[in-house]
Structure 1
Amino acid sequence: MAGRLRAPTGRYGGKTAEERKSERRRRFLDAGLQLFGDAPGYRATTVSALSEAAGLSTRQFYEEFRTLEDVLAALHLQVNDWAEGAALAGLAEADGLPIEGRATAAFRAYAANVTGDPRRLRITFIEIIGVSPRLERQRLARRSRWVDFICAEATAAADRGEAAPRDYRVAAAAFIGGVNGLLHDWSSGWVDASLDEVVDELVGLLLGILRPAGWRPEGV
């Protein structure tokens, strides 16, 4: 009927309330990545500074997060999700290859992702450390997920006869610690090597774990 008022759509500026909320959250996380991952760092950032960097108000901040720690926690998970996605994509591209090719593809993709943006490295390896018991539990839980990743590949390689059959959990935990330490030191300029050399070293370490002295692949 002509002249009848349309029912409210909940849209403003062409976006729904949920879309606007998602955009605000993204802007706060983008600002957190910049301020926490570069200067001044998580501990020197205030809610006001983060809100200003995001181009939003402190009132909008508290509509999305309770504390700055919540932003850091979300960023830590996001950075790890990006890195895990890259490693899985590398494995997918190496599908059907022997363990050497699979490990090289996975670590090359992972290393390129985590070192491609120094801010991600700082959040993962520096800013998250010692903040609170809650974030320490999250950090260790995420590291455990990487250990599971290595164990799954090691077990699959053993099933194919490419690695020694054993429980790899302790070895995988030690290896992940080495990965984190080496990439952090390399990104800081302390290790004088190319990224390809770093990846080759990591693959060599992993193969040494999978194939201890005296063990030979089936058929050799």
Structure 2
Amino acid sequence: MAGRITPAAGRYGGRSATERQAERRARFMRAGLDLFGAGPGYRATRITDVCRAAELSTRQFYEEFHSLEDLLAELHLYVNDAAERSVLDVLPQVQHLEPHERYTRLFRAYAAGATGDPRHTRIAFVEIIGVSPRLDRQRLDRRARWIDFLCAQAQDAADRGHIPQRDYRVTAAAFIGAVNGLMHDWAVGWVDASLDQITDELLQMLLDRLHITPPSPEHPPARTQ
């Protein structure tokens, strides 16, 4: 069975059809997050497993998603959006800082957003890999957004005279590739390190490629209010 089923309209139990649908979808999302991100993983999960965890029927599942892959796709966007919000929330607070402090704060915000919930880390860096051409495109599209963000930050730093003027796209692409590779290996246990060690290693890699050095003791970083 595949393809979405149109849910019933009208009010039931004091809630509209839209409210009931939103609640069902949220329950399926929570179940998928647990099963894909902390349980057996996407490849070992069936639709009936998701329905059992959500305490909903397969008919209700097909009212929300065409397939199990659709649920994974939505969860992948959800966990990426959470990491992106962590960075964008910090961005206005660090715009005035010197580049070393600014990049440090931004990347640590990303690391916290991407790994604060281990289920997010596994979905973003492990479960999404190699599922289908469609999800490969979605994953690469999200990587491209981070590359564009890094390029914009580098251009801003270059315009201020903090780093040399040049095209930083290859640097940004290489760094995002390193983030994805190292986070994958760390998430599956191939790299025995703490999150702080992983974050420090990646951050130093970025700062080195941008030729950004720590401020000297005579010129400490600006303090935030």
TM range (shorter): 0.7 to 0.9
Find the residue that maps to 1:12 and give its secondary structure.
coil
Q: In the alignment, what sits opposite 1:216? A: none
Query: Are 2:126 and 2:188, in contact at CA under 8 Å, matched by a contact in 1?
Result: no
Is the contact made by 2:87 and 2:106 (CA closer than 8 Å) also made in structure 1? yes
**Matched residue, 2:125:** 125
Alpha-carbon offset, residue 212 of structure 1 = 8.2
How many residues matched?
A: 205
Q: 1:42 to 1:187 in 2, by over 3 A?
A: closer
Alpha-carbon shift at residue 69 of structure 1 (Å): 0.3
Which residues in structure 2 correspond to 1:80-99 (within 5 Å)? Answer: 80-99=80-99
What corresponds to 1:218 in structure 2?
none
Aligned residue for 2:201?
201
Residue correspondence of structure 1 range 143-162 to structure 2 within 5 A: 143-162=143-162
1:49-198 aligned within 5 A: 49-198=49-198
Q: Which amino acid aligns with 2:184?
A: H
Say whether the 8 Å CA contact 2:91–2:106 is kept in structure 1: yes
Question: Given that residues 84 and 113 in structure 2 are in contact (C-alpha distance below 8 angstroms), is that contact kept between their aligned partners in structure 1?
Answer: no
Structure-1 residue corresponding to 2:41? 41
- Maintained 8 Å contact 1:100/1:203: no
Larger Rg: 1
Of the structure 1 ranges 203-212 and 101-110, higher mean CA displacement relative to structure 2 is found in 203-212
- The amino acid across from 1:210 in the alignment is L
Residue 30 of structure 2 aligns with which residue? Answer: 30
Find the residue that maps to 1:15 and give its secondary structure. Answer: coil
| Partner SS for 2:40 | coil
1:127 Cα deviation from its structure 2 partner: 1.0
Residues 92 and 199 of structure 1, relative CA distance in 2, 3 Å threshold:
farther
Task: Say which SS state the counterpart of residue 76 (structure 1) adopts.
Answer: helix
Q: Distance between the aligned counterparts of 1:202 and 1:92, measured in 2?
A: 23
Task: Identify the range of structure 1 (85-94 vs 65-74) with the bigger mean alpha-carbon deviation.
Answer: 85-94
C-alpha displacement at 1:84, in angstroms? 0.6
Residue 39 of structure 1: SS of its match in structure 2?
coil
Cα distance, 1:86 vs structure 2: 0.5
Q: Which amino acid aligns with 1:164?
A: P
The separation in 1 between residues aligned to 2:129 and 2:189, in whole angstroms, is: 20
CA distance in 1, matches of 2:14, 2:156: 49
Q: Distance in 1 between matches of 2:167 and 2:19?
A: 46
Same amino acid, percent of matched pairs: 63
CA distance in 1, matches of 2:212, 2:196: 24
Which runs of no fewer than 5 residues in structure 2 stay unpaired?
Answer: 1-9, 214-225
| Structure of greater relative contact order (alpha carbons < 8 Å, 6+ residues apart) | 2
Shift of 1:185: 3.3
1:196: Cα distance to partner?
A: 3.2
Contact in 2 for aligned 1:130/1:136 (Cα 8 Å): yes
Report the TM-score, using the length of structure 2 for normalisation.
0.84
The AA in structure 1 aligned to 2:90 is G
Distance 1:113 1:138 in 2: 19
Separation in 1, partners of 2:95, 2:12: 46
The Cα shift of 1:197 comes to: 3.7
Comparing 116-125 with 76-85, greater Cα deviation is found at: 116-125
